[in-house]
Every structure is written in C-alpha cells, then in structure tokens.
Amino acid sequence: MERNDIIDFKALEKELQAALTADEKYKRENAAKLRAVEQRVASYEEFRGIVLASHLKPLERKDKIGGKRTVAWNCHATQRETSQDEATEISQEKTLFQPETSAEFYRDWRRHLRSGPERYEALLQLGGPKLGHLFQTDVGFGLLGDLLVALADQVRPADRLVVLGILHSLAGTGRFALNLSLLSPAERESCRDLFQKLQATSAPGPTEEGLSQKEWGLEEQPGELQEEERLLQELLVLYQVD
C-alpha cells in the first residue's frame, strides 16, 4: 500500500466511539421520554426533568458524599471539558453539518450549532427530504421546539418554499403529534410566529414590512403560488395553528 492509502485506525476508533456514545444518549433519552408518558406526569417541566436526568444513576453503598474525589459524580454537570474534547469540537466545527443519523444530528446540533443563524443555515443546507429521512422514526426529545424556534427567528421571505418543505417533512416524522403536544408555551408561540411570517409573505400586495412581493423577490407563477398556498393551509392544520 502507498503512504496515502494507510488507514488511520485510531481516528476511525474515535469516530466510532463518538457515534456509539451519541446513539446511546439518544436511545436513553427516548426511553425516558416513553417512560414519562406512561407515568402520565403532571406537567411538561416534570417530563423534561425526567428525560434530562436519564443519564444519572443511583448512588451505591460504597459512594461517599464527602471526602476527596478525583472524578465528578455527575460528569454531565461539569462545565469544563478536557483538552481532547475541545480539540475534537474545534475540528468538527470546521466541517460541514452533514449528519448521517438522528443521533449525529442531535449531538452536533447541541454541541456545535449554538447561535440562531448557524442553526437556521444548517436546516436550509439539509433541507426537508434529508431531515425527514433522519427523523423518520422520531424527532428527539425537545428537538422539535428547537427547530421551530430557529426557523421562526431567522426565516427569510426568499427561503419560504424551503421552509415549507422542512415543516412538511417534520410533520411526517414518527410520533409528530406527541412531540407537538410537548412543546413549551414559548415554543408554541414561536410556531405561531413562524406561520404568521409565512402567511404574510404569501399575501398579495404589500407585505407586513411595506414591501411588495416583487421587491422581496417572491414573484412566482400562479400555479406555483397556488401549490404553496395549499401546502401552507395543510401545515396550519398539522401544526394546530389557529
């Protein structure tokens, strides 16, 4: 084999370990979500608390509260990361957002896409079909609300058709009705705000900001507009927007 053909097994092992860890986290939280639903918890906050604490394990007899400890009991609560984690994070941030599984999406979304504009551009980059494929089984706990907030805060009139496609794909994912019912009040408000903006760009004549559709670059053929309007009305029902 030539020098360039040598396989870096150490790097492959790290990638595999990261993917397994992310997949384990997704399965653990999804199981906790189902348990919480079965227990008929009284509030959304209680439901969220159960899922966020799914990684915790009960203390054993040998565990001590006091005394000198070299390892934190709840490693997920530590704010400082190791230098190796930081190096991995920096290298991943430089790559394009191209998750192949829902677990990879959830991991990178939480860890690397921190700002609204970054999240919005990532969603546009993936598009509706890809997102629908990633989440065909289920959208992870709390993620649907994050997606709606990112779209509502950053949506641009020129992206209207792509955003409608994303919303349509998300509505076709597994347990969509359940995830929709678990949106927080703030996330529901963002959802309404998003659809108001989408409706405003579809109305004839001046938009809510005083510019015409032509000035926004939204001028389309009558057939295309009619199809978009049909899709928008369908989504209003699916997302239960008044």
Distances (CA, A) of 12 to 5, 75, 77, 106, 190: 14, 25, 28, 20, 40
Among 31-35, 78-82, 112-116, name the one with the lowest average pLDDT.
Answer: 78-82
Q: Where are the domains of the chain?
A: 9-48+86-238
SS3 assignment, position 193: helix
Neighbours of 149 (CB within 10 A): 22
Residue 207 DSSP one-character state? -
Model pTM? 0.56
d(CA 88, CA 14): 10
Residue pair 140/30 in contact by the 8 Å Cβ criterion: yes
Q: What DSSP string runs through 151-177? A: HHHH--GGGHHHHHHHHHHHHTSTTHH
Q: How confident is the model at residue 207 (pLDDT cuts 50, 70, 90)?
A: very low
SS3 assignment, position 211: coil
**pLDDT over 90 percentage in the chain:** 38
The two three-digit tokens of residue 152, written as one number: 């509502």
Residue 148 has pLDDT above 70, yes or no: yes
Q: How confident is the model at residue 93 (pLDDT cuts 50, 70, 90)?
A: very low
Neighbours of 144 (CB within 10 A): 23
Residue pair 239/171 in contact by the 8 Å Cβ criterion: yes
pLDDT of residue 202: 66
pLDDT of residue 25: 80
Residue 154 has pLDDT above 80, yes or no: yes
pLDDT of residue 7: 75
Residue 62 has pLDDT above 70, yes or no: no
Give the CB-side neighbour count of residue 83, counting CA atoms within 13 A.
0
The two three-digit tokens of residue 37, written as one number: 């639903």
Instruction: Calculate the average pLDDT of the chain.
Output: 76
The dihedral formed by the CA atoms of 19, 25, 29 and 30, expressed in degrees to the nearest 10:
30
